[in-house]
Structure 1
Amino acid sequence: MKPRERHVLLLWMLVCSGATEAVDPFTIGAGVAGTAAAGIFSPMIYCRFKECCRPNWVSFKSTGLKKDLDNKLFGQHVASRIILKAVDGFMSNDNPKKPLVLSLHGSTGTGKNFASQLIAENIYEKGIKSNFFHVLSATHHFPHPKQHLQTYKHQLKQLLRDSVTDCERSMFIFDEVDKMDPQLIDSIKSYLDYYDNLDGVSYRKAIFIFLSNAGGDSIAQTALDFWKAGQKREEIGHNDLGTSLSLSLFNNKDSGFFHSSLIDKSLVDFFVPLLPLEYKHVVQCAMAEMKARGRQPDQDVAERLAKDLVYFPKSERVFSSTGCKTVDTKLNFYL
């Protein structure tokens, strides 16, 4: 700790302990001294040791996100490119016109949650443990929408308001959107729109990310069509998936976005498709999991695990049915 910081910390400790009462009241009132010191130094001291919505705690690392997407999000060249450009452009803008809204779609285990976590890890010093990072699960937080829809709407709006009031760079992850009532999603439309503020609170610097399995079948079919045509996976572009994905979600009663005003009013900035994972990607996931556990990655172990998973189509065994979702639990069996 620098000398100046030590002096500031000592003064703050004296203020908090009431030691300012020893100050000559004819020179400066003890209460005034304490209040003035607290007003000047409390944010400085507090935010050095406790998370605050300040640059030392909230600061986007573009090169870090690119590196993580390239090296950790396996087999997702389309999603990685969209996410990096979208987040980089948004976070570098000090005066965005609206919040960033992403909707990530793909089958189980393709990396939707993981991609969201990588974004958080490169925005918040505390990563996914940040108080400004919020995950809302449809089945956990909104399990009975038919009976409690109005209550859920109120609670959700209150959470958004309180969170963004605490930090304008808050991030909200809505998991299992395909299991959410479309009316609940539509209830937050105004928070995602082009408003300077709502009741005195600006949401323009917040990030909203929706995660859903909906659309996964059509994404997988596109990937399979490319494979059957002998085209490389890397040749698949966003144009091959994006427009048809948003349209299918809008017309799918089970998507969570059925006739949603979020789509109708173009409030979702990017629909991000995540491709089904192949055998080689499962191997990469297993190797990464071993490394994360502090073990020496073993190619043989990774390949044995990957071979035992279920793939589709059944005869060709091209894509993993569960992606990398079960790799961490199954790995124990192979070590």
Structure 2
Amino acid sequence: MTAAHVSLILHLILTVSVLVDMSSSITETAGVFGRLWQKTFKSDKSCNSKWISFNAQGLRADLESKLFGQHIASPIILKAVTGFMNDDKPEKPLVLSLHGPTGTGKNFVSKLIADNIYKKGSGSSFVHVFASQLHFPHLSQVDSYKLHLQQWIKGNGTSCERSMLIFDGMDQMRPRLIDGIVPYLKDYNKLVEVSYKKAIFIFLSNAGWGIITKTALNFWKEGRHQEFERKNLEIEISEAVLNNDVFWYSSLIKKNLGGIFVPFLPLQYQHVVQCAEAAMKNRGLQLDWDEVDKMASDLDYFPKFEKAFSLKFYT
């Protein structure tokens, strides 16, 4: 067993209390530790090209054939990830901030990215997902969460420089906890002692969804939905950031660490149909157009009378 593995084991022991409720029994804690051990040491063999190999064409194909209704997000993500993974000496980590309504594909696209970088995809031991409400539920324990989170990031960064860290629910995370992530987003920081220049940080957030939805609806009413571009949101999002409506993002922006802003749009009926078709194909089911239409029609849409966009589809 290498020194890096021993170091990571210690970090796992210290971190396990973050991943279980403080009232959990020793048995439950041991169970969580066992799953962490299995994920970290059994899923992948080594941090090398055998287990980590970027497939640019695969990502392009997946974004085109599996992610629907996101004509703004797809090219931004493809360009950002491709450029970063093809750079052997990036100046700083890749930070993607995915904003938009619930159910528009933010988690899904994170999986697509992982699937085209790691041999085991999102199941790789080099992919780490933190959900704010699950892993950091108690306000009184924020300082403890912050410490353990930093230890976890440091341990996994030491184990593999090409790690991917996904933070789900950034808009629900406490500011002090977000501050704990900041040192790892810089090109190099003496406090963390390890360079994370080749790591990928993906922040998922519903913050700004009202602005995104409102602007998308205005373009739809004018018959110009496909003309909707990221620049149409930049002014309003910037104002919201300055007014602290998107507080967590504003704290990163002020430190010039916000990364690449990627807006996710609400889905229209035809996009829901495409999603349903893809889901049936992936499960090896024969397409039933009546069933697809019924499923899509049964969803809730808004506004009430125009029914332009679905309230939710992707999970």
Q: Tell me how far 1:227 sits from its aligned partner.
A: 1.0
Q: What RMSD in Å do the two structures reach over aligned CA positions?
A: 1.8
Q: 1:259 to 1:240 in 2, by over 3 A?
A: closer
Q: Determine which of 68, 86, 89 is the counterpart of 1:74.
A: 68
Distance 2:273 2:249 in 1: 36
Give the secondary-structure state (helix, strand or coil) at the position aligned to 2:304: coil
| Distance (Å, rounded) in 1 between the aligned partners of 2:259 and 2:135 | 25
Instruction: Provide the rounded CA distance (Å) in 2 between the counterparts of 1:133 and 1:229.
Output: 42
Aligned residue in 1 for 2:314 = 324
The answer for the alignment partner of 2:259 in structure 1 is 269
- Aligned residue for 2:248? 257
What's the counterpart of residue 289 of structure 2? 299
Which one scores higher on RCO, CA 8 angstroms, separation ≥ 6? 2
The answer to whether the aligner puts 1:83 opposite 2:77 as a matched pair is: yes
Question: C-alpha displacement at 1:265, in angstroms?
Answer: 1.9
Partner of 1:157 in structure 2?
150
Whole-angstrom distance in 2 between the partners of 1:195 and 1:201: 7
Query: Deviation of residue 196 (structure 1)?
Result: 6.5
Matched, 1:105 2:99: yes
Note the alpha carbon deviations across 1:8-55, whole angstroms, 9 max, x for none.
xxxxxxxxxxxxxxxxxxxxxxxxxxxxxxxxxxxxxxx9x9521100
Partner of 1:142 in structure 2? 136
Q: Determine the structure 2 residue equivalent to 1:195.
A: 188
Give the conservation status (yes or no) of the 8 Å contact 1:101–1:207: yes
**Residue number in structure 2 paired with 1:241:** 233
Give yes or no for contact 1:174–1:209 (8 Å, CA) kept in 2.
Answer: yes
Structure-1 separation of matches of 2:129 and 2:238: 23
Tell me how far apart the structure 2 counterparts of residues 273 and 50 of structure 1 sit (CA, whole Å). Answer: 32
- Any stretches of 5+ residues in structure 1 without a counterpart? 1-46, 326-335
Evaluate the alpha carbon distance shift between residue 170 and residue 243 of structure 1 in structure 2; reply closer, same or farther with a 3 A threshold. Answer: farther
Distance 1:184 1:196 in 2: 18
TM-score, with structure 1 as normaliser: 0.78
Alpha carbons of structure 1 residues 258 and 104: separation in structure 2 relative to 1, 3 Å = closer
d(CA) in 1 for partners of 2:202 and 2:52?
A: 18
Q: Using a 3 Å threshold, how does the CA distance of structure 1 residues 250 and 178 change in structure 2: closer, same or farther? A: farther
For 1:191 and 1:78, the matched residues in 2 are separated by 28
1:125 aligns with 119
Q: How many residues align?
A: 274
1:242 Cα deviation from its structure 2 partner: 3.4
Instruction: Determine the C-alpha separation between the residues in 1 that align with 2:242 and 2:177.
Output: 15
Say which SS state the counterpart of residue 315 (structure 1) adopts: coil
Give the structure 2 partner of residue 183 of structure 1.
176
CA distances 1:137-175 after superposition (whole Å, capped 9, x unpaired) = 00000001x201110110110111011111000000000
TM-score norm. by structure 2 comes to 0.83
Q: Which amino acid aligns with 1:323?
A: F
Identical aligned residues as a percent:
54
Q: Is the 8 A contact 1:283 1:306 kept in 2?
A: yes
Shift of the 322–192 alpha-carbon distance from structure 1 to 2, 3 Å rule, reads same
For residue 211 of structure 1, report the CA deviation from its aligned partner: 0.3
**Is the alpha carbon distance of 1:50 and 1:152 closer, same or farther for their aligned partners in structure 2, counting shifts above 3 Å?**
closer
Measured in 1, the distance between the counterparts of 2:313 and 2:196 equals: 35
SS in 1 for 2:307: coil
CA contact (8 A) 1:65 1:84 kept: yes
Alpha carbons of structure 1 residues 259 and 64: separation in structure 2 relative to 1, 3 Å = closer
Inter-partner Cα distance in structure 2 for 1:171 and 1:247: 30
SS at structure 1 position matched to 2:98: strand
**Residue by residue, what CA displacement relative to the aligned partner does 1:248-302 show, whole Å, maximum 9, x if unpaired?**
245335x451641x11122122110000000111111111111121111222211
Distance 1:276 1:304 in 2: 20
Cα 1:220–1:299, aligned 2, differ >3 Å: closer, same or farther?
same
Give the 4+ runs in structure 1 shifted more than 4 A: 196-199
- Structure 2 vs 1, CA of residues 169 and 258 (structure 1 numbering), >3 Å: closer, same or farther? closer
Change (3 A) 1:65 1:172: same
Amino acid at match of 2:229: G
Aligned residue identity for 1:257: W
CA distance in 1, matches of 2:296, 2:241: 31
